[in-house]
């Protein structure tokens, strides 16, 4: 299951080439956005991505994260698929990949406007997911959130759906090819909201890198230390000289899956405490 995932460097390079072509045709592209300032009113909250702005301005403009024939992410206001507030984010992959884009696999993802994660950072991530009716939960490797390394290869940590389960998985892209893992978290049931909290200490050292996971206020994974760590050391193609990871949310899956799939996201938060990000704690 060692997937070759393009690095952000490769994706940006491809986007710059496209931008240059557009510029030659007289079409302007926006400047790279800056990280969103920390939200006010909630202690220890670094970023909020709840789409209550009515658009996707809480996220970076990364068109290269759409491939394989997927349409762009949508902000929706249908109360049946909104967890809280007025809006949620809808992400769909319609079927078998058509091979278009930076990768042959099917992907439809967003990147929050927050800084990269560094060695030793310890952060909490809170978010709600709803798998749409008919979501192909039994298929293999479908990733709905990645804590991605900045070079080539599959991420150190990801939330995936496969074999009817939500799994914590990762390590398949480690430059030393050690410590790939897959840990079941809970049954994946379409049409049912899951409110997640992840605590991640980012480290290349397997004795320090760790993950805890709560679903709907219940601890489903006590402190877990992957053999591959929660970050990769330098060594993958296009990686930087120091370990870095970044967050990607959305839907990324095997190119050959034919069944359409939709994931709804709401209440995304990143903070330094559980209280700052957990829906069930307010």
pLDDT reading at 6 higher than 60: no
Residue 2 covered by a domain:
no
Q: What is the pLDDT of residue 7?
A: 53
Q: Across the chain, which distance is largest between two alpha carbons, in Å?
A: 54
| 32 backbone dihedrals φ, ψ, rounded to 5° | -60, 130
Dist. CA 223–CA 49, nearest whole Å: 26
Residue whose entry in the numeric block shows the structure tokens 């193609």: 237
Average pLDDT over residues 226-243: 91
Q: What is the pLDDT of residue 19?
A: 41
pLDDT reading at 139 higher than 80: yes
- For residue 67, the enclosing domain spans 8-281
List, for residues 68-111, the tens digit of each pLDDT value: 889 899 999 999 999 999 999 999 999 999 888 766 689 999 99
Residue 78 covered by a domain:
yes
253 or 41, greater pLDDT: 253
CATH of the domain at 222: 2.60.120.200
Residue 240 covered by a domain:
yes
Closest CA to 187 of 131, 149, 227, 119: 131
Length of the chain: 282
Residue whose entry in the numeric block shows the structure tokens 């909201």: 193
Closest CA to 192 of 74, 275, 83, 60: 83
Residue whose entry in the numeric block shows the structure tokens 């893992």: 181
Dist. CA 81–CA 62, nearest whole Å: 24
Structural contact between residues 70 and 94, judged by C-beta atoms closer than 8 angstroms:
yes
Burial 248-272 (b: 16+ CB within 10 A, else e): bbbbbbbbebeeebbbbbbbbbbbe
Query: Of 138-142, 187-191, 263-267, where does mean pLDDT reach its minimum?
Result: 138-142
Q: What is the pLDDT of residue 100?
A: 82
Residue whose entry in the numeric block shows the structure tokens 């393009």: 6
pLDDT reading at 168 higher than 80: yes
Q: What is the pLDDT of residue 204?
A: 97
Q: What is the pLDDT of residue 40?
A: 66
List, for residues 28-71, the tens digit of each pLDDT value: 433 445 665 667 668 899 999 999 999 999 999 999 999 988 98
Residue 1 covered by a domain:
no
Q: How many domains does the chain have?
A: 1
Q: What is the pLDDT of residue 238?
A: 81
Closest CA to 221 of 171, 186, 192: 186
Residue 97 covered by a domain:
yes
Read off the pLDDT band of 16 (50, 70, 90).
very low
Q: What is the pLDDT of residue 38?
A: 62
- Residue 124: helix, strand or coil by DSSP? strand
Dist. CA 242–CA 249, nearest whole Å: 23
Residue 71 covered by a domain:
yes
Dist. CA 237–CA 45, nearest whole Å: 33
pTM: 0.87
Average pLDDT over residues 115-142: 97
């Amino acid at each position: 299951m060692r997937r070759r995932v393009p690095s952000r460097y490769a994706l940006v390079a491809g986007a710059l080439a496209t931008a240059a072509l557009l510029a030659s045709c007289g079409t302007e592209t926006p400047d790279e956005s800056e990280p969103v300032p920390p939200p006010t009113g909630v202690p220890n909250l670094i970023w909020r991505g709840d789409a209550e702005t009515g658009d996707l301005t809480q996220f970076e403009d990364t068109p290269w994260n759409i491939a394989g024939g997927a349409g762009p992410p949508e902000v929706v206001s249908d109360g049946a698929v909104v967890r809280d507030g007025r809006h949620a984010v809808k992400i769909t992959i319609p079927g078998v990949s058509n091979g278009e884009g930076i990768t042959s696999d099917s992907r439809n993802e967003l990147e929050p406007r927050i800084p990269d994660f560094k060695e030793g950072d310890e952060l909490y991530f809170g978010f709600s997911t709803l798998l749409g009716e008919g979501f192909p939960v039994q298929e293999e490797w479908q990733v709905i959130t990645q804590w991605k390394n900045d070079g080539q290869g599959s991420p150190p940590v990801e939330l995936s759906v496969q074999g009817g389960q939500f799994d914590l998985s990762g390590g398949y892209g480690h430059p030393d090819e050690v410590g790939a893992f897959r840990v079941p978290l809970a049954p994946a049931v379409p049409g049912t909201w899951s409110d997640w909290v992840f605590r991640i200490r980012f480290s290349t050292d397997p004795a320090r890198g760790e993950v805890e996971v709560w679903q709907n206020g219940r601890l489903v994974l006590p402190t877990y230390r992957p053999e591959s760590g929660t970050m990769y050391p330098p060594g993958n193609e296009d990686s930087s000289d120091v370990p870095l990871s970044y967050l990607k949310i959305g839907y990324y899956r095997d190119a050959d899956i034919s069944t359409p799939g939709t994931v709804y996201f709401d209440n995304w938060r990143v903070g330094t405490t559980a209280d700052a990000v957990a829906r069930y704690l307010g």
